[in-house]
């Protein structure tokens, strides 16, 4: 927002995080973010605070807090959205616009708008979901694929549209498509998009299961069906499946919400999407056992990658970390490496062994497993690694390696959905 020319005050209850940001450091790994932060702080248009009253003078208030999955349920934990909203309300004035960015169960905006009507008359709520991907957050924010405004009917809605148009003037001038709609649709757009993406991944992973039993090749299959632009090749990469802080919890919260709305049958297919996805992790462990002659006991396994995807240090519901933990639980001696996610991985699973250098991780390994396709792992030279490992066995959990290159260098290569 500061880059787009606005004056921005960012508030959070996490003092440590605010201190880090105010010092110009990004609290997580995201390509391009440190540079953008430094640039924006230098303009004087961006400031950080833990004091909610510091936002009182703003015209537009974005609510961006997380909606993680509840501990023992599929539903989303709404405490952070509700708390942010309640804290903000005393500082609103007639004409203020509150824009919801958080991914929420449909119906939340309607509930919050009613609350706003009681506690801050004259302020207007809009729902303005975001679609950024981790690893591409800066690009996706400055050049989004589309913009969605969910607004109330009438004059309040028209005024809010005009204000958002001003906020996003530069983005809209770039030709970004804009969809103006009601609250319910705007909230659904976000979860529908993530559910579709998750379904696409699980579809190709289901095909991978069939490829495994028929001897077919899922990569060639994805290429061939992807040439049909009604299908498209994107998000058809078979492998360990999806993780992270969005897709898994969003499809679960969506199912939970559909149940609450009395439409429980509508989304039962997402249960299948979820189980195909988790099955891939189990299959990966089975493949490892097969490669190691039927037993994981005391076998040395090097795991390349801990984050849920490359270019992120996020380990929330990381398929890689999950598989590494399972292998260890089943008796293997596992060493995990990752270019940026080691600190987060260690905090999440302190029992695994972590090393910073790839060479150290694969030294004397009986099996090497690529579980997150960071560029530096994809570019590894199998000839060089051949001399350090104890057994030349590689499992490609992301169908990202050059199979021929590894086989030519004397490795046994296996992947999910390919022979």
Q: Tell me, rounded to whole angstroms, the distance of Cα 294 from its chain centroid.
A: 34
Do residues 232 and 226 make contact, with C-beta atoms less than 8 angstroms apart? yes
Give the one residue of 81, 246, 336, 401 binding ligand UGA; rule: CB under 6 A.
246
CA pair distance 390, 213, nearest whole angstrom: 30
Cβ-based nearer residue to ligand UGA, 201 or 218: 201
Q: Residue 227 burial by CB count (10 A; 0-12/13-18/19+): exposed, middle or buried?
A: exposed
Q: Which residue has tokens 């148009």?
A: 165
Do residues 239 and 222 make contact, with C-beta atoms less than 8 angstroms apart? no
Choices 55-63, 131-139, 166-174, 350-358 (CB under 6 A): range interacting with ligand UGA? 131-139
276 binds ligand UGA (CB under 6 A): no
Give the one residue of 30, 134, 313, 396 binding ligand UGA; rule: CB under 6 A.
134
Residue 64 annotated in active site: no
Enumerate residues 6+ apart whose C-beta is below 8 A from 235: 197, 200, 201
DSSP state at residue 132: P
133 binds ligand UGA (CB under 6 A): yes
132 binds ligand UGA (CB under 6 A): yes
Cβ-based nearer residue to ligand UGA, 135 or 152: 135
382 binds ligand UGA (CB under 6 A): no
What one-character-per-residue DSSP string does 135-168 give?
TSHHHHHHS-S-EEEE--SHHHHHHHHHHHHHHT
Q: Residue 23 burial by CB count (10 A; 0-12/13-18/19+): exposed, middle or buried?
A: exposed
Do residues 103 and 129 make contact, with C-beta atoms less than 8 angstroms apart? yes
At its nearest, how many Å lie between ligand UGA and the CB of residue 131?
Answer: 4
Closest among 281, 282, 193, 212 to 240, alpha carbons compared: 281
At its nearest, how many Å lie between ligand UGA and the CB of residue 235?
Answer: 4
Near ligand UGA in 287-306, by CB under 6 A: none
Cβ-based nearer residue to ligand UGA, 248 or 382: 248
308 binds ligand UGA (CB under 6 A): yes
Choices 35-43, 77-85, 243-251, 291-299 (CB under 6 A): range interacting with ligand UGA? 243-251
103 binds ligand UGA (CB under 6 A): yes
Q: Which of 76, 240, 246, 256 is catalytic?
A: 246
Residues designated as active site: 246
- Residues in the site for ligand UGA, rule: CB under 6 A? 103, 130-134, 194, 197, 201, 235-237, 239, 241-244, 246-247, 250, 308-309
């Amino acid at each position: 927002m500061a880059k787009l020319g606005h004056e921005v005050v960012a508030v959070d209850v996490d003092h440590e995080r605010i201190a880090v940001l105010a010092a110009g450091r990004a609290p997580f790994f995201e390509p391009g973010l440190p540079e953008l932060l430094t640039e924006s702080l230098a303009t004087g248009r961006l400031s950080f605070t833990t004091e909610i009253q510091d936002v009182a003078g703003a015209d537009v208030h974005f609510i961006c807090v997380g909606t993680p999955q509840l501990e023992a349920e599929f539903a989303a934990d709404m405490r952070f959205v509700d708390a942010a909203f309640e804290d903000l309300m005393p500082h609103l004035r007639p004409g203020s616009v509150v824009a919801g960015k958080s991914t929420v169960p449909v119906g939340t905006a309607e509930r919050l708008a009613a609350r706003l009507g009681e506690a801050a008359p004259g302020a207007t709520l809009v729902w303005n979901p975001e679609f950024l991907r981790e690893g591409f957050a800066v690009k996706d924010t400055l050049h989004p694929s589309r913009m969605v405004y969910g607004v109330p009917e009438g004059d309040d809605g028209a005024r809010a549209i005009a204000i958002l148009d001003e906020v996003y003037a530069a983005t809209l001038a770039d030709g970004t498509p804009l969809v103006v709609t009601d609250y319910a649709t705007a909230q659904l757009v976000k979860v529908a998009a993530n559910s579709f993406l998750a379904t696409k991944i699980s579809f190709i992973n289901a095909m991978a299961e069939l490829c495994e039993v028929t001897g077919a090749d899922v990569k060639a299959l994805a290429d061939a069906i992807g040439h049909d632009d009604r299908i498209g090749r994107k998000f058809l990469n078979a492998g360990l499946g999806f993780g992270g802080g969005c897709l898994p919890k969003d499809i679960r919260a969506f199912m939970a919400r559909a149940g609450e709305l009395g439409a429980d049958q509508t989304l039962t297919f997402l249960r299948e999407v979820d189980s195909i996805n988790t099955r891939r992790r189990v299959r990966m462990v089975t493949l490892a056992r097969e490669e190691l002659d039927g037993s994981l006991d005391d076998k040395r396994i090097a795991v390349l990658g801990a984050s849920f995807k490359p270019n992120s240090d996020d380990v929330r519901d990381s398929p890689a970390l999950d598989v590494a933990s399972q292998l260890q639980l089943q008796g293997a001696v596992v060493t995990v490496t990752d270019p940026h996610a080691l600190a987060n991985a260690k905090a999440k699973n302190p029992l695994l062994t972590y090393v910073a250098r790839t060479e150290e991780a694969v030294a004397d390994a009986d099996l090497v497993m690529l579980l997150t396709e960071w560029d530096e792992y994809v570019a590894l030279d199998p000839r060089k690694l051949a001399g350090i490992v104890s057994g030349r066995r590689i499992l490609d959990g992301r169908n990202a390696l050059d199979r021929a290159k590894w086989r030519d260098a004397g490795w046994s290569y296996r992947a999910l959905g390919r022979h």
